[in-house]
Copies of this chain bind each other. A is one copy, B any other.
Amino acid sequence: MFLAKVTGSVVATQKAESMVGQKLLVVEPLRVDEKDQSSLKGTGRTFICVDTVGCGEGEVVLIVQGSSARFTPQTGKLPIDAAIIGIVDTVQIGTKEVFKTGT
């Protein structure tokens, strides 16, 4: 899995019928800054994910990719390869809290 920031959303009226009603969010994957290991930074990449946890823009989330994205109650047999499965409260690296929600 990887950490990502929710940056936006996608509207697609014409789509696979099973996808109707699924919220499609734009996310940017994050990584631990390799210089000082004390913050998260964006990678510049762009993924589209189905939201299974009711998250909102600006939140840091946990993303699962591949066939496992179909292993949540909401995503059963959907034609998707990425889902948001958690909203991150904190990320700790060593003794340092590098991310805390709401700060």
Contacts and interface: CB of A to CB of B under 8 A. Distances in A.
Copies of this chain per assembly: 5
A103 interface: no
Interface size class of A (residues with CB under 8 A): 35 or more
A42 to B, nearest CB: 7
A65 B19 CA distance: 15
Interface in A63-82: 64-73, 75, 77-82
A10 to B, nearest CB: 5
Given A16-B52, A68-B67, A9 B81 contact: no
Interface of A: 1-3, 7-19, 24, 26, 28, 30-32, 34, 37, 42, 44-49, 52-55, 57, 62, 64-73, 75, 77-83, 85-94, 98
